[in-house]
Structures are given as structure tokens and as C-alpha cells.
Amino acid sequence: MRPWPTSDQRRLLGKPFIRALLPLAERRGISSSELFRGTLLSEQKLQINNFRLTDHEMLSLLASAEEKINDPHLWQLVVETLFSDRLNPLIDLTVHAQTLKQALIHLSRFQSLIQPFLFAPTQRFENYLQLDFIPVEGLSGKMNQLCYSANCKIGVAILLMLGRARGLAVNQWHVSLPEDISPLPTWKKWVKEVSSRPICGLSIPAEQLQEHSPERNLAQYHQALSFCQMQHQTQTQASAMLSVFKWLDYQLETGHDASLTELATEIGISLSSCKRLLASHGYSFQQIYDLVRLHRLLNLLQKYPYSNVELAQKLGYSNPNNFRRACKRWLGIVPEELRQQQSALFISNSAL
């Protein structure tokens, strides 16, 4: 079994991602002091806090590494280190889960124990499962885009490594990335297709969800689950944001209006606390609501080329002109162009 520390509870709050990243950065000529420049971090602060980071510190470090370390293999190597050195119990938990479906449930619940990437509620189409990555914001301008680029690469790399560790045919998986994010070189060898899409996503054949891991170790699974539960008790914001996303998505699906006041009541916090929660991730209520609408728009168009009137109704707009303007604001193109580009922007069911 993995001897994770039980006597030093503080160490359980550490960010294993840092322990994987810093040596790789050093070997590429970027010292930790250079990497931390422009962020809220310092070597002394890391040591004092025993490698504990706030979400904002983590985001700024991701952006700094994406900008300063000129190596397209970096994030793949970071993730491979997480798996090979078993730096976090979440790795063991997902590798030794009974099925991929169970592993994804655990990863969704405990994902903030590795890094602040969030997948949206999964979408089940006829023969595949779609995972979309929510852009976690909180930084400004260029740094925010650098952070999202790094976050997408790490999130997809973790899932691909998980699939390979479980013996799955990841060559049948499909990766989708925004046009300004380049796929990691290794992915071209592993997956069948990398396509363009406004929100980063990963499509997995549904038949693989129930496949059992041939290397499963039940004792390691239960030990890892205990440690993940112990750590997760100290981290609530990431799961709260996922709850926000799910609730807003459900309001759209059922045709109900949503307001900040209703959201605060739903998640059991005051109106001011709800505003602070959203602001800590870089969002206003309208911005997160628009993100949910964009997520739903992309998945609706994967099912059927709905008209503007139909899309406006499904996304909670009073008229199609308001929806058309919103689409232009989100993607820089109007819905008509989006439908024309559908073959390039989205993974078709026939391709799977």
C-alpha cells in the first residue's frame, strides 16, 4: 500500500502538482524564484505553508509556467510524474476504481485535490460521453488565457493517462480544443482525432464506461478513498462552483428563469457570500450564466442543427435576436456561421 502520511495532517493539504512541476522547471533552466516571479508565491511561503496553495495562487502559477517554460511536453511530463510517483491518493483512487464510470465520478468529486480544473456536468449522447472543461477564471487579461490553456492541457492529459493506466483504448477518444490552444505532441500518437471547439472537451465511447480495470487493487482503492475524503473535507469552493454550474444548467433544461438570489438560496449561503464565491473564481452571476448557456449551446448543436428561434427558447432568451447577439459575444460569430462550421467545430456522432 501507499504510505501516505497519517500523523502529519497538514501534509495532506499539500499540492502534489507543485512537487511534480518544480523539478521539471529547474531542468529546463527556470528556477523556482523565476517561476514564482509575478505570482503571489515564494519559496519561503511554500515551505511555511507546507506546499498548501489557494486557488488563486495555483492559477497564477499555472499561467507563469505556461508563459515561461518553453517546452511543449511540459504538462504531459508533469502528469506522468503524478502517476508514476503516485503523488496524490486521487491517482490511485481513479486507477483502482472498479469501472471508468466510477473513476470519473471520483475525479469529478475530488478533482480540486490535484488542480483547479472543473468539468461541467457530463453529456451522454447516443454512443459517447462528453466531458467539457469550465474555464476557471480569476486572473486578468493575458494571464487568464495562459492559465486556461495550461488547465485544459493538464485536464485532458490526466484523463488520457487514466485511460491508459486502466488499459482502455484511448485511441478511440476524441479531444476538442479552442483554436488558440495547441494539443500536446503525445496526444497525436494516442488519440484518433483532435478537433477545434470553443470549449475544451473530451469524448469517450460509452461502451468503455463499464470496463473493469485488469490491474485493480481493492485495498489500495479503499485506502486512497479514505485519504481523498479526509482531504476533501477541507476544500469546498470547487465543489460549490460545480453545484452552481449544475443548478443553472438544470434551470435552462427545465425552462425556468434563474437569479442570483435564487442561486444563493439553492446552495444555502447569503446573497453577499454567493457574490464572493463567484468573484473568487473570476465571475459575476451573468458571466457564469452565460458560460452555462454556451456549454448548452455547443451540446445542443451536437445533437441537431436547431434554428435560432429554437435555440433562443432552449437557452432562456426572450427572442432570437438577443440570442444571436449573445452568440456573437461568446464566440465572435453568429449562429448561422456556427452551424456552417459545425463539421469543423464539433465531433460528429458518425465519427464515433
The whole-number pLDDT of residue 351 equals 36
The whole-number pLDDT of residue 68 equals 95
* Residue range 237-351, CATH number: 1.10.10.60
pLDDT classification of 344: cutoffs 50, 70, 90: very low
233 compared with 52, residue with greater pLDDT: 52
* CB contact at 8 A, 118 and 245: yes
Residue 146 has pLDDT above 80, yes or no: yes
% pLDDT > 90, the chain:
29
Residue 123 has pLDDT above 90, yes or no: no
Lowest mean pLDDT among 33-37, 107-111, 120-124, 211-215: 120-124
The whole-number pLDDT of residue 175 equals 94
> Which CATH number, 3.50.4, 1.20.81, 3.30.470, 3.90.1520, labels domain 9-232?
3.90.1520
Half-sphere exposure of 38 (CA within 13 A, CB side): 16
- The x, y and z cell numbers of residue 176, run together, are 476538442
- The x, y and z cell numbers of residue 58, run together, are 495555483
The predicted-structure confidence for 159-178, as pLDDT tens digits, reads as follows 999 999 999 999 999 999 98
Is 127 exposed, middle or buried, given 0-12, 13-18 or 19+ CB atoms closer than 10 A? Answer: exposed
The predicted-structure confidence for 241-294, as pLDDT tens digits, reads as follows 778 888 998 899 888 889 999 999 998 899 999 998 888 777 889 888 888 888
d(CA 17, CA 79) in angstroms, rounded, equals 8
Within 10 A of 63 (CB to CB), how many other CB atoms are there? 23
Residue 7 has pLDDT above 50, yes or no: no
The whole-number pLDDT of residue 43 equals 75
Mean pLDDT of 89-101: 92
User: Dihedral angle at the C-alpha atoms of 167, 171, 174, 177, nearest 10 degrees?
Assistant: 100
* CB contact at 8 A, 106 and 97: yes
Q: What is the 3-state secondary structure (H, E, C) of the chain?
A: CCCCCCCCHHHHHCCHHHHHHHHHHHHCCCCHHHHHCCCCCCHHHHHHCCCCCCHHHHHHHHHHHHHHCCCCCHHHHHHHHHHHCCCCHHHHHHHCCCEHHHHHHHHHHHHHHCCCCEECCCEECCCEEEEEEECCCCCCHHHHHHHHHHHHHHHHHHHHHHHHHCCCCHHHCEEEECCCCCCCCCHHHHCCEEEECCCCEEEEEHHHCCCECCCCCHHHHHHHHHHHHHHHCCCCHHHHHHHHHHHHHHHHHHCCCCCHHHHHHHHCCCHHHHHHHHHHCCCCHHHHHHHHHHHHHHHHHHHCCCCHHHHHHHCCCCCHHHHHHHHHHHHCCCHHHHHHCHHHHCCCHHHC
- What is the domain partition of the chain in residue ranges? 9-232, 237-351
The whole-number pLDDT of residue 72 equals 93
% pLDDT > 70, the chain:
84
d(CA 305, CA 303) in angstroms, rounded, equals 7
* CB contact at 8 A, 53 and 113: no
Residue 6 has pLDDT above 60, yes or no: no
Residue 340 has pLDDT above 90, yes or no: no
The whole-number pLDDT of residue 296 equals 85
Question: Of 114, 108, 110, which Cα lies nearest the Cα of 133?
Answer: 108
Residue 346 has pLDDT above 70, yes or no: no
d(CA 77, CA 168) in angstroms, rounded, equals 20
pLDDT classification of 65: cutoffs 50, 70, 90: very high
The whole-number pLDDT of residue 350 equals 36
Within 10 A of 88 (CB to CB), how many other CB atoms are there? 26
pLDDT classification of 4: cutoffs 50, 70, 90: very low
Residue 349 has pLDDT above 80, yes or no: no
Q: What is the mean pLDDT of the chain?
A: 81
Question: Of 176, 97, 100, which Cα lies nearest the Cα of 132?
Answer: 176
The predicted-structure confidence for 176-231, as pLDDT tens digits, reads as follows 998 889 999 999 899 988 988 888 889 999 999 999 988 788 888 998 898 888 77
Is 47 exposed, middle or buried, given 0-12, 13-18 or 19+ CB atoms closer than 10 A? Answer: exposed
